[in-house]
Structure 1
């Protein structure tokens, strides 16, 4: 897959709307019935003396600032050509928000949906065409906000002399900006829903556990939440390997001398050889996953599952779910579709299944499963499916409310090879079925069933943002009812029963440094 041009956007139409933010006035555009504002800074550029620092409030400006183009993306890893997009960007004003509003102006009071993009905490930017919020805003009667946050070493590298979780702190700064400014764009600051997918879903989970984020959102949607949360020791060891590749120490002072693109490339180089650190880094070396939120005991005191079990999200509505075939996309990208051997399946089960008998329980629970099915199931479950389900279970066990879904509709692109894979939910939720990377999954000319499914999912997400009910019963430990989004939608007991039972006693602890 190739990355679509992040600068693509519809032609503006009509008089240009103006809004005054706390920091100054901005002038956007009108596009297909929505007022659109792009590239509004929510924090000072994290460069120079502010590199590797927590985000600082943006300074005021005089006059009216044009808000018609996305801000430059933060430094990126090399996957899907994202690093090239970042290297072509000018300046370090990475921390910007974009807004789509059906009806800007104070007093409108529309629900607000704030999107947190995914990308394995290593890539991602709000300006990708698949994240255009126009259709979701217009059809759903909501204000949609997207934003950039620091990823990779800039946002999640564990460097001496720098605060941990800078990417998450950027997200909190964006939500604080929404709290202070969104009313002027037609939004209700007391009806904010955060929603995100993959690393964005993991970020949503992290925000539920962060005291500094308390009160900044009323509802949360975690789509295929990435379940990796690092100990400080693991994160520091990975950062040390990245710095060593540059001949430096993993300190903010040393690494501030390195261009951001070069630091990102150093992370990519370590990732390419991560398997040789498997004895030290454990499961994340097999994927490889070099950057994730760090449970540092301060900004992020405990894992999301522990926080929710302790009642941290009891007053926050939660919508959470996953796709049926999460791993299929990665199997395809690795060139392994139809090629997985018994040895590869055994290695995956040994690496990722929980506990001493997890591999055996998978084989006994699914005696007819092929090597490829077992290979995909255990990785889907470890990284996305069971972390998402366990968020709902922790929330409900503490007396909170959660709604659960599974996307089962198989993507028609590439002859249907992808199934209901990771990332398929993104174009369906935004309604952008013919643009950006995920459009490859749906294929040329979205079929009517894709349009119909997208309409159902958009209606559910915006209804949840508006009043907390997506249209199906809340999850509980007895019936375990979930919404299946397939060709024919249905509410049924959670269908992945073998996986649920295999993982039911797993606590999703902090991932440790496993060797010295």
Structure 2
């Protein structure tokens, strides 16, 4: 956790960057002193909102207070309470502290006059885990090679950010994201960024968050371009979210109210959310697809902040003035199949159950089987999971955007990850190290393997160039998507522009509405 240095004010009101020196900037709250890494000025752990603890627990974010003197900005702020997946709860405990809502900035040219494009990253993690300080999200290479200012930040996840708590505002994690974007608007010029050229980009739940922000009236005007990578397509109705919150509170013998939960230790509340997720199948008759997939938290549709789903909002023209880049990987589900120990083990019964649970409409399962008569149980299982959770929600964003007169560019990552003998394919999360250029660090590095091959470096350079060109000019370098040709960028060892390749899935899902998931009954 960072600390304030209240000794002597800095002598440099403008950025100070002598050769080998430490950069300093002045923002609205005070002065910051960062570090210089490989030619990039880096500022970590900068508060964009007050710690949401004590009387501010479960409240909407409030702007951070200022400080005297020069604040050291060299260490990531502590992450918010986490679910236990992949040991993230332990990481959060090791970085103890209450200043959960902090941002980090990488700039190749800090200073009010640089006017560089800004890219604001929203991490994924199923709305349950995630923190900006993970090594795979280091923005140095993207900022340096692309001449952009990169911003990452923490937002509340799990029950703290997305639990439906009576007496508290909903979608607090999304409100944190809006607060971070407001902070960028007010302060990014000091870091060399142009507040009128802000691109928000995110993957998985971060991609779903980007979609949600496009639908939120409060977020209008805070960003000008948007990148949704493998957008998680789950959005909850108020009834479903309230029922899941009640189950989480019941794990603690409490009610899902502000009065009951405000004093509960955040780690205990996160553990209760984990417990409900682990046994969600027992509520399958009430929670439907959310239970089958063990997804206890997602943005809630129906309040003033998020009145309709992103697909409906884009269809209604909400994103018409925001250029959109959206896409997914070919084998989204493969990562989860591996984590579940099912690679090569999926039975016909499991495939049939997946088709019944996730295929759209009354005849969706039949249509999958008829369109793919030679597919193995594992192929059917992975395809319907990939389509429901990531691929078709992402494609539908592009369709809704273009139908309303907006512009969207679509891609699919088809390059198979070389790690583990190629078992992962082009799986969920593979795009993250490629976009950031961090091929040998963090959890996604397992997908690429020890010592990134030259083709990984080449593909990463191409994707970084496309993402930063989109941030700078709104054009990633391939034609916009349209309902006729449906041209998309395929990222492989030899990238190509071609018609969207998942035609079978597109046709099966083309009439699906992607409504908020309901509470299904008794």
TM-score bucket of the superposed structures, by smaller chain = over 0.9
C-alpha distance in 2 between matches for 1:472 and 1:89: 42
Please list, as runs of the form range in 1=range in 2, the aligned pairs for 1:139-150 lying within 5 A after superposition: 139-150=145-156
Q: Do structure 1's residue 500 and structure 2's residue 503 form an aligned pair?
A: no
Which residue in the other structure is 1:408 paired with?
A: 414
Give secondary structure in 2 for the equivalent of 1:379.
Answer: helix
Q: Give the 3-state SS of the residue equivalent to 2:200 in structure 1.
A: strand
Asked if 1:55 corresponds to 2:96, the answer is: no
Question: Given the alignment of the two structures, is residue 117 of structure 1 paired with residue 159 of structure 2, yes or no?
Answer: no
For the 8 Å contact 1:328–1:376, the answer to whether it is kept is yes
Q: CA deviation at 1:89?
A: 2.1
Residue 513 of structure 1 corresponds to which residue in structure 2?
Answer: 519
Q: Paired residue for 1:360?
A: 366
In structure 2, how many angstroms separate the alpha carbons of the residues matched to 1:109 and 1:296?
38
The answer as to 2:159 corresponding to 1:153 is yes
Per the alignment, residue 127 of structure 1 pairs with 133
- CA shift, 1:272, in A, is 0.8
Matched, 1:252 2:258: yes
Deviation of 1:90 (Å): 2.2
What is the match of residue 399 of structure 2? Answer: 393
Aligned to 2:104: 98
**Deviation for aligned residue 1:91:** 1.8
1:269-288 equivalence runs, <5 A: 269-288=275-294
Unaligned segments of structure 2, at least 5 residues:
1-18
2:218 to 208, 212, 217: 212
Mapped contact 1:463–1:469 kept (Cα < 8 A)? yes
- State the SS of the aligned residue for 2:385: helix
The structure 1 residue matched to 2:47, chosen from 20, 31, 41, is: 41
**Structure-2 separation of matches of 1:253 and 1:86:** 25
SS of 1:177 mapped into structure 2: helix
Spell out, residue by residue over 1:135-186, the C-alpha distance to the aligned partner (whole angstroms, 9 max, x if none): 0000000000000000000000000000000000000000000000000000
- How far the C-alpha of 1:60 sits from its partner, in A, is 1.1
How far apart, CA to CA, are the structure 1 residues paired with 2:373 and 2:463?
34
**Correspondence for 1:421:** 427
Q: How far apart are residue 252 of structure 1 and its match?
A: 1.3
Q: CA shift at 1:123, angstroms?
A: 0.1
Report the equivalent of 1:3: none
Show CA shifts across 1:213-238 (max 9, x none). Answer: 00000000000000000001100000
For the residue of structure 2 that corresponds to 1:115, the secondary structure is strand
Classify the secondary structure of the residue corresponding to 2:490: strand
- For 1:237, the equivalent position in structure 2 comes to 243
Q: Paired residue for 1:372? A: 378
**1:486 is aligned to 2:510:** no
Alignment of 1:260-271 (within 5 A): 260-271=266-277
- Among 446, 449, 456, the alignment partner of 2:452 is 446
Give the superposition deviation at 1:366.
0.8
**Partners of 2:259 and 2:266 in 1: CA distance:** 14
Indicate which of 327, 332, 340 corresponds to 1:326.
332
Deviation string 1:56-94 (CA, Å, 9 cap, x unpaired) is: 011111111000000001000000000001112222100
- TM-score scaled by length of structure 1: 0.97
Which stretch of structure 1 is more off in the superposition, 118-127 or 359-368?
359-368
Aligned equivalent of 1:462 = 468
- Any conservation in 2 of the 1:164–1:296 contact (CA below 8 Å)? no
Rounded Cα–Cα distance in structure 2 between residues aligned with 1:257 and 1:193: 37
Show CA shifts across 1:445-500 (max 9, x none). Answer: 00000000000000000000000000000000000000000011000000000000
Give the match for residue 197 of structure 2: 191
Kept in 2: contact 1:120–1:291 (CA 8 A): yes
Residue 9 of structure 1 corresponds to: none
Q: CA RMSD in A?
A: 0.8
Query: Could you tell me which residue of structure 1 aligns to residue 4 of structure 2?
Result: none
**Match of residue 349, structure 1, among 347, 351, 355:** 355
Find the partner of 1:433 among 432, 439, 443.
439
Deviation at 1:287, TM superposition (A): 1.0
SS in 2 for 1:60: coil
* Per-residue Cα deviation, 1:21-47 (whole angstroms, up to 9, x for no partner): 101111000000000000000000000
Query: Which runs of at least 4 in structure 1 moved beyond 2 Å after TM superposition?
Result: none
The answer to whether the 8 A contact 1:190-1:218 is kept is yes
In 2, Cα distance between equivalents of 1:183 and 1:59: 19
| Secondary structure in 2 matching 1:364 | helix
Task: Please give the alpha-carbon distance, in whole angstroms, between the structure 1 residues aligned to 2:463 and 2:258.
Answer: 43
Aligned length: 505
Q: Secondary structure at the match of 1:510?
A: coil
Q: Distance in 2 between matches of 1:178 and 1:255?
A: 32
Tell whether 2:179 aligns with 1:177: no
1:5 equivalent in structure 2: none
